[in-house]
Structure 1
Amino acid sequence: MAASSSLISTHFHSFSPLSRSPNRKFLPFPLSKPFSRQKPAASASPILSLLPHKTQKRSLIPQQRAFCPPCLHKLLLATRNPFSSVVESLLIVCASAVLSLSLFIADVDPASAFVVTPPKKLQSDELATVQLFQENTPSVVYITNLAARQDAFTLDVFEVPQGSGSGFVWDTDGHIVTNYHVIRGASDLRVTLADQSTYDAKVVGFDQDKDVAVLRVDAPKEKLRPIPIGQSADLLVGQKVFAIGNPFGLDHTLTTGVISGLRREISSAATGRPIQDVIQTDAAINPGNSGGPLLDSTGRLIGINTAIYSPSGASSGVGFSIPVDTVSGIVDQLVKFGKVTRPILGIKFAPDQSVEQLGVSGVLVLDAPANGPAGKAGLLPTKRDTYGRLILGDIITSVNGKKVSNGSDLYRILDQCKVGDKVIVEVLRGDHKEKIPVLLEPKADET
């Protein structure tokens, strides 16, 4: 009732033609001049013509006297027609009653009935972020990893989701790029596009060492919007980045941050092989973001979100993305050949901790199969003699003049080589060093 009475009083004030509303405009009368009832002369004022007086000589308003709006308001009230005042009062009462009844019927909050929400105004950087998200969201997809399970009682085989992740459209031919660990162990894969249409996906190829996989879906080309490809060679620490993905199964989430580090190194989740030149970012990356794109401020792809450093499993502000320059070469090989041809030495080496305990620096060869590149070149593996004593094999100390201190150094050097290259491997054999030429070959399962 208090709110209703306040509204009634408000509308009494607003409906009254003589109310002192700040928005009400007074008639542009020349208040500095007198008025008379008769035909006004050049210096007469029309307001005094409304006032009862007998002669022109006895003017109620002295000459050259100005009236302020409150005084004029009181003067007009004193000269109003009583009949018009009664009619006006009745109209005001009726309008107030109708307004109060409408509020009770419509059940509208009186305090917010006349509140006008001002239009939202965004800053230029906010508008740029909104536009980036809207333009690149159609390129990001949701990937569901399905695994076959057999019911223990009915022995029926059915598929259940065992994981999910993100990916992005690479081209209009239906190729989808994601992380290998997103699709690992899947019996079937499903890709959901931005318009919520779902398609069965086939694996084109994958690279376990770099944690990259390529899928393909038979979707109409008009539904496929390839993501713009950038470059990662000229990135700088501190520049703004954006991560789009589906964390925890949520649909298309955007997180922002900066590049907090470059040339980091992480290990592949599948093989443990190091991945070099990884981008470190503080943009929030959570489970489900894996395989999603990392974009620069122009909306171009600069990396694939692949891992986080977190004891709890959630984002702690340290995320890692595989640089796009590495991804582009891998994807091109997977699309053309369905595999990545990467050179190997064909050896198995001991853990770095074991070599450190021996007091030497390098890679200890544990096994060098005779049909592999190292075995053909004559590298010696670790073995035992007839008495069971351990005889250490060759310890690789450098390749092509580049020092090798551990397994990561060896992988890093081999990543810069190609299949068919001949490298000079320097080894420590016993108490002397030897240089052995080795012809690099691809993996046995890739031939």
Structure 2
Amino acid sequence: MKRVMLGIAIFAGLTAVAIGLLPSTPISTAPVASGSIAAVEAETIALFRRSAPAVVHVFAQGQSLTYVEQAQSQQTGSGFLWDTAGHIVTNEHVVRGADVVRVRLADGRLREGRVVGRAGQVDLAVIKINGGDLPAPLPVGTSASLAVGQFVMAIGNPFGLDQTLTTGVVSALKRRLPTESGREIADMIQTDAAINPGNSGGPLIDGAGQLIGVATAIYSPSGASAGIGFAVPVDTVRRVVPMLIADGRIPTPAIGVVVAPEATAARHGIDGLIVSSVLPNSPAQRAGIRGIDRVEGLLGDVIVSIDGKPVRRLAELTEALEAAGVGKIVAIGILRRENTISLRVRTVDGGS
């Protein structure tokens, strides 16, 4: 998507591979015949040719009154075929607020699409186009066994340039990426590719040609590639996409508390999350969790753990609740004044 917010430019990404020579290895200065292709290049070319037909260009825009407003509101990004029924995976931010969605296939055909599911908390969305005469979807791999240094490639549409390939390696794993909603996406893949706006929603592929992630953003104060890109891991995609296709959303486990900013806790020297308020008739209220008493000027409960695991950041609270699921009982460790207590709370679906 062609915009930059808070130093994060939206994208789909990859990295660069360096091949080192041992000091004792002689370096040939003989000219290479024009047009010759090394084995590693041939493999990359073959991977691209197999994968590229499944990658699409996504155009999304809101309904506006004038042609100029429509042109200004258009968002573009990337996506890829998930199945033979015409479901396409992309980023939620690519289609956010869009009333009209169109998809251009790799061969240039343009299809009308509709958004059938959104999950802003993990920045994923599913678009449906008419099935029939579609390229084969990408084979789906796993992100659980990824290793730093592993070869990856990405295909997308940076700055609207169709079918652009970048290659590289996995730079880091289990990164956290803040979203515009204030949540964080956990377990993100970091990659070092030259990735730019418009790559958002495109696939990150491993050396076997399998999908391992969905490119989402680059860290860039300027809006251009800074060599630090992020992708949603495919294990998250495999969990979320079927629910989006079936229900249009994913459940969001919640207990009904509003927590104070983490900086507030830090200023008070508190190692945990201060409960600012508790929602009426929520599981937290029924369990006896207390918010800030503004009449008496008393600090609210401090959440310090869930099911015995320490909680110091909002992202850790969210991650623990999502791991538990909706309708499950969790043990919330609470620091109240100088006492630590444990309260059992049943999670509910807080909506997306």
SS of the equivalent of 1:148 reads coil
1:287 is aligned to 2:197: yes
Shift of residue 272, structure 1, vs aligned partner: 2.1
1:134 is aligned to 2:41: no
Check whether the contact 1:283–1:319 (CA below 8 A) recurs between aligned residues. yes
Unpaired stretches in structure 1, ≥5 consecutive residues: 1-117
SS of the equivalent of 1:329 reads helix
Check whether the contact 2:86–2:134 (CA below 8 A) recurs between aligned residues. no
1:205 is aligned to 2:117: yes
TM-score (normalised: structure 1): 0.69
Shift of residue 147, structure 1, vs aligned partner: 2.0
Unpaired stretches in structure 2, ≥5 consecutive residues: 1-32
Match of 2:287 in 1: 377
Check whether the contact 2:275–2:302 (CA below 8 A) recurs between aligned residues. yes
Match of 1:162 in 2: 74
Higher RCO, Cα 8 Å, sep 6+:
2
1:230 is aligned to 2:141: yes
Taking a change above 3 Å as real, the CA distance of residues 288 and 157 of structure 1, as seen in their structure-2 partners, is closer
Shift of residue 157, structure 1, vs aligned partner: 10
Greater Cα offset, 343-352 or 163-172: 343-352
Greater Cα offset, 254-263 or 375-384: 375-384
SS of the equivalent of 1:392 reads coil
2:64 to 149, 167, 172: 149
Match of 2:30 in 1: none
CA distance in 2, matches of 1:141, 1:315: 21
Check whether the contact 1:285–1:305 (CA below 8 A) recurs between aligned residues. no
Amino acid of the structure 1 residue aligned with 2:258: K
Match of 1:12 in 2: none
CA deviations over 1:350-369 (Å, ceiling 9, x no partner) = 00000111111111111211
Q: How does 1:269-280 map to 2 (within 5 A)?
A: 269=180, 271-280=181-190
Match of 2:215 in 1: 305
2:129 to 217, 233, 238: 217
Greater Cα offset, 373-382 or 249-258: 373-382
CA distance in 2, matches of 1:376, 1:333: 30
Decide which structure has greater strand share.
Answer: 2
CA distance in 2, matches of 1:296, 1:317: 18
Q: CA RMSD in A?
A: 1.6
Check whether the contact 1:148–1:157 (CA below 8 A) recurs between aligned residues. no
Match of 1:186 in 2: 98
SS of the equivalent of 2:98 reads coil
2:154 to 222, 243, 246: 243
Check whether the contact 2:275–2:303 (CA below 8 A) recurs between aligned residues. yes
Check whether the contact 1:191–1:199 (CA below 8 A) recurs between aligned residues. yes
Check whether the contact 1:171–1:224 (CA below 8 A) recurs between aligned residues. no
CA distance in 2, matches of 1:288, 1:439: 41
Shift of residue 302, structure 1, vs aligned partner: 0.3
Match of 2:89 in 1: 177
Check whether the contact 1:199–1:219 (CA below 8 A) recurs between aligned residues. no
Match of 2:277 in 1: 367
Match of 1:413 in 2: 320
CA distance in 2, matches of 1:378, 1:133: 57
CA distance in 2, matches of 1:122, 1:167: 30
CA distance in 2, matches of 1:293, 1:148: 28
CA distance in 1, matches of 2:171, 2:70: 40
CA distance in 1, matches of 2:135, 2:172: 33
Shift of residue 412, structure 1, vs aligned partner: 2.1
Shift of residue 431, structure 1, vs aligned partner: 2.3
Decide which structure has greater helix share.
Answer: 1
User: How high is the sequence identity, in percent, across the aligned residues?
Assistant: 44
CA distance in 2, matches of 1:217, 1:343: 31
Q: How does 1:316-335 map to 2 (within 5 A)?
A: 316-335=226-245
CA distance in 2, matches of 1:205, 1:373: 27
CA distance in 1, matches of 2:318, 2:209: 32
Match of 2:340 in 1: 433
CA distance in 2, matches of 1:207, 1:223: 25
Check whether the contact 1:241–1:283 (CA below 8 A) recurs between aligned residues. no
CA deviations over 1:212-259 (Å, ceiling 9, x no partner) = 101100142x22321110100111111111010000000100001111
CA distance in 2, matches of 1:261, 1:227: 24
Structure 1: 4+ residue segments shifted above 6 A: none
Match of 1:400 in 2: 307
CA distance in 1, matches of 2:250, 2:305: 25
SS of the equivalent of 1:315 reads coil
Shift of residue 158, structure 1, vs aligned partner: 7.3
Shift of residue 383, structure 1, vs aligned partner: 3.0
Check whether the contact 1:398–1:427 (CA below 8 A) recurs between aligned residues. yes
CA distance in 2, matches of 1:375, 1:141: 47
TM-score (normalised: structure 2): 0.87
SS of the equivalent of 1:294 reads strand
Amino acid of the structure 1 residue aligned with 2:346: L
CA deviations over 1:374-425 (Å, ceiling 9, x no partner) = 122111111311xxx5322111111111111121221221221111110111
Amino acid of the structure 1 residue aligned with 2:64: R
Amino acid of the structure 2 residue aligned with 1:126: E
CA distance in 1, matches of 2:187, 2:104: 31
Shift of residue 119, structure 1, vs aligned partner: 6.8
Taking a change above 3 Å as real, the CA distance of residues 347 and 194 of structure 1, as seen in their structure-2 partners, is same
